[in-house]
């Protein structure tokens, strides 16, 4: 097996996370052999806008292996973001090189603010792109021909893969590795990197655990995140109150004050939101999804899912992204009863 060549653009004042994250993911990917060995899946190269060393935003010094003009043919080209992308001279040089190189490259991944460099070439016109929520409005104004979304971690449209940047660069990298070598290789790598989960591109940029840690009182911040990470556990009021070192009655009262809903409704809504994500994976059966999030009966799971989402799980999993959005709009009135779920992110 010949490793696929991945090129990472390096420049002054780039985001170190968007260099190190993909570099680690691609360089660690291994294909097991019949004799018990492992073969590298990728050859990772750093390509500098010049051959000089580059200082990242956080102060790391990076020495690129090659100048961009010395780059060999690439299977995958990765363009990170960072404040340096807005330097007019650098941006012009990068855009000129990208215009020549992109057409001969199988796929191009653009991370975070790296979108500015490729969008300037016109190659992304009419393509759907994922942009960091903080940059979405500016990118849409500067490049009106792009179809900008700030609700997804990453998006694949033709040969172009775009992501919000930051840690979503690792999620995108794992998705590309899965595309090349299969789901198991990507999952093994996610486990090696100690990731909590292998996130799909459809997941929102603002995670539910972080949302509740930010918005809830200090007393319940960690508990809410723990619930969302342990949906298969006993999450009764009594069990949660014991974890919070409170009486069930006092716990239920203070929890409702903090979240605007009862513990039972919070847990049910969180479980159904997670079910929506898991049902999108074709390998997951409805029975296994229900059991994995704490439902002992498939029938109870299906009826609860229908009550909150409006359709049965078997129908939901067959919907396209656009159909899920329409389904979301048709059941918005259900939010009042289950405010703990962010349905915009679940759709």
pTM for this entry? 0.71
List the beta strands (DSSP E) in the chain: 4-10, 30-32, 38-40, 42-48, 54-55, 61-62, 66-67, 76-79, 107-111, 128-130, 147-149, 154-157, 160-163
Architecture of the structural domain at 4-192: 3-Layer(aba) Sandwich (3.40)
Domain ranges of the chain: 4-192, 208-346
Give residue 244's pLDDT.
86
| pLDDT tens per residue, range 86-114 | 998 888 899 999 999 999 999 999 999 99
Give residue 23's pLDDT.
96
Residues 6+ apart with CB under 8 A from 345: 151, 203, 204, 206, 208, 273
Chain centre distance of CA 302: 27
Q: Does domain 208-346 have CATH number 3.20.20.80?
A: no
Low-confidence ranges of the chain (pLDDT < 50): 332-347
Give residue 178's pLDDT.
94
Instruction: Extract long-range pairs of 180-183: CB within 8 Å, 24+ residues apart.
Output: 180/4, 180/41, 181/29, 181/31, 181/41, 183/283
* Both tokens assigned to 308: 């909150």
Give residue 282's pLDDT.
77
Residue 304 vs residues 246, 254, 299: alpha-carbon distances, Å: 29, 26, 9
Looking only at the bridges linking them, the beta strands covering 61-62 and 54-55 are antiparallel
Give residue 29's pLDDT.
96
């Amino acid at each position: 097996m010949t490793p696929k060549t991945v090129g990472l653009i390096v420049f002054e004042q780039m985001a170190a996370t968007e260099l190190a994250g993909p570099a680690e993911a691609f360089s660690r990917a291994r294909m097991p052999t019949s004799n018990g060995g492992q073969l590298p899946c990728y050859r990772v190269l750093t390509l500098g806008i010049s051959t000089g060393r580059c200082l990242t935003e956080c102060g790391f010094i990076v020495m690129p292996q090659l100048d961009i003009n010395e780059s060999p043919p690439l299977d995958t080209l990765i363009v990170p973001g960072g404040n340096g992308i807005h330097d007019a001279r650098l941006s012009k040089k990068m855009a000129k090189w990208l215009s020549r190189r992109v057409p001969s490259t199988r796929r191009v991944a653009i991370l975070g603010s790296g979108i500015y460099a490729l969008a300037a070439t016109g190659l992304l016109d009419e393509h759907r792109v994922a942009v960091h929520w903080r940059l979405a409005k500016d990118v849409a104004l500067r490049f009106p021909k792009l179809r900008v979304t700030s609700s997804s971690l990453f998006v694949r449209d033709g040969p172009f893969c775009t992501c919000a940047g930051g840690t979503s660069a690792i999620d995108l990298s794992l998705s590309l590795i899965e595309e090349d070598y299969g789901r198991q290789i990507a999952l093994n790598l996610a486990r090696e990197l100690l990731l909590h989960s292998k996130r799909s591109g459809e997941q929102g940029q603002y995670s539910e655990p972080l949302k509740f840690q930010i918005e809830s009182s200090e007393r319940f911040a960690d508990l809410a995140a723990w619930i969302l990470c342990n949906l298969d556990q006993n999450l009764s009021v009594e069990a949660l109150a014991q974890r919070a070192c409170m009486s069930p009655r006092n716990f239920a009262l203070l929890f409702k004050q903090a979240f605007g809903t009862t513990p039972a409704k919070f847990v049910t809504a969180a479980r159904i939101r997670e079910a929506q994500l898991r049902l999108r994976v074709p390998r997951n059966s409805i029975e296994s999804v229900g059991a994995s999030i704490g439902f002992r009966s498939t029938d109870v799971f299906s009826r609860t899912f229908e009550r909150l989402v409006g359709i049965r799980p078997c129908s939901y999993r067959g919907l396209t992204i656009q159909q899920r959005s329409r389904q979301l709009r048709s059941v918005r009135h259900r939010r009042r009863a289950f405010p703990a779920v962010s349905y915009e992110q679940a759709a």
